[in-house]
Amino acid sequence: MTTNDKNKKNRSTKDEEQDAAQKSHNPLFDLVLGYPRMAGRMALKPQTAAFRRFSALNARMLLYMQADLCRLEVELMKEEKFDSDNPTEEKNRYATNYNWLRVSAANERPPRQLQLIKEIKEKLREYNEFLLQISHVHALKEPDRFDLRDFQHFMGNEELMGVWALTDHDRDVWGSAIEPEATSIDLVGIQTRHKEDSFSKWVAEHAIYLLRCGLARVKRPDKRTGMVGYYESSVLKITFGLTSILASLIPIASIIVLVVLSPRPIDKAFRAQIATIAAFNVLISVCLTIFTDAKRTDVFAVTAAFTAVQVVFLGIDNDWKPK
C-alpha cells in the first residue's frame, strides 16, 4: 500500500468517525421519522419553518360566511319592514324602542326579528374574527429562498428523513432539492430572516461553501443541534465590522485621490495628517460598532461627518502655513 493510499484510508476513517460522532450528537435521530422529525428540525432552525397560508381556502370560507350574512341581512330588513307596517302597537314599536323588542322575547313566540338579530350577531363575531385572522396571516412574509432550499435538502436527505419523508398529499408543499421551484405558491415563514444589506445577505448565503471546502473538518458540532454549521448572527457581526471599516476608509480614499491629483507638492507633515485622519476614522467606527447600537447607515453618516470636520481643520491648518 502506497503512502497516498494510506492517507486516503486515514482520511476516510476520520470522516466516518466524524459522521458517526455527529450522528450520535444529533437530537433529530431521537425523533420518529416523518412529522416529529420535521417539527424537530423546524424547532432547531425556525427560519426554515414554512407553511401554506391557504389563500384560496380562506377566501372561499369568507365568501361563504359573507353570503350567509347577506342572506340574513335581507331577511332582517324584510322582518323590520313587516313589523313596522304591522297595525299591532307592540310590533310597530320595535324599530324605535329596542328595549321593547328585547322584552318581547319573554313571550311564548319571540319575534322573528329578535331571533335574526341574535343569529346575525353570532355569525358576525365569527366572520370578523376570521377576517382579522386572515389579515394577520397575509401580513406574514414569504420564507427566504436560502432557508427554503435548506429545508428541501433536509427533506431529501435519506439518512435523516428516509426514502419518503412524507407520503400524504402534503408531500409536495415545500418542493424538493431536485425541483426547488415546485413549491406551493402561498408559503409563508413563521420566523423569516431580518433583511440586512445586500452584502451581508450574500455573505450569509454563501458562507455554507466554507463548510464544503473543509471548514467542517475543523469545526465542532453545535451542542444544541448536533450539526456542524454557523450562526447567521456571527456572519452579520463580521460583515458589520467590515462595512464599518470600509465606511471609515472611503472618505480618506477620496481625499488621497484629490491630493494626488492636486498640482501642489505633498510634504511629510501633510501625509502624516492624512494618516492620522484615517486612523481616527477607523477608531470612531470601531467605537460605534462596539460601544453603541448604531446601525450601518449611522456608522457611514458619523464617519462622513467626522471626516468633513477634520478636512476643514486640515485645510485651515495648511492655509496658515507660509507659502
Contact 27, 34 (CB under 8 A): no
Q: What is the pLDDT of residue 202?
A: 65
Q: What is the pLDDT of residue 302?
A: 81
Q: What is the pLDDT of residue 323?
A: 46
Q: CA–CA distance from 75 to each of 100, 117, 125, 274 (Å)? A: 21, 10, 19, 84
Measure the CA angle with vertex 150, ends 148 and 156; round to 5°. 105
Strand residues in 39-100 grouped as ranges (E): 50-52
Contact 288, 244 (CB under 8 A): yes
Q: What is the mean pLDDT of each run of 10 residues along the chain (323 residues)?
A: 51 50 67 90 89 94 97 93 79 78 72 89 96 93 86 87 86 88 90 68 61 53 55 67 76 76 72 80 80 77 80 63 48
Measure the CA angle with vertex 165, ends 164 and 169; round to 5°. 90
> Rounded distance, CA 194 to CA 190, Å?
12
> Rounded distance, CA 204 to CA 198, Å?
10
> Rounded distance, CA 316 to CA 51, Å?
63
In our burial notation (b when 16+ CB lie closer than 10 A, e otherwise), range 1-19 reads eeeeeeeeeeeeeeeeeee
List the chain domain ranges.
Answer: 55-139, 233-320
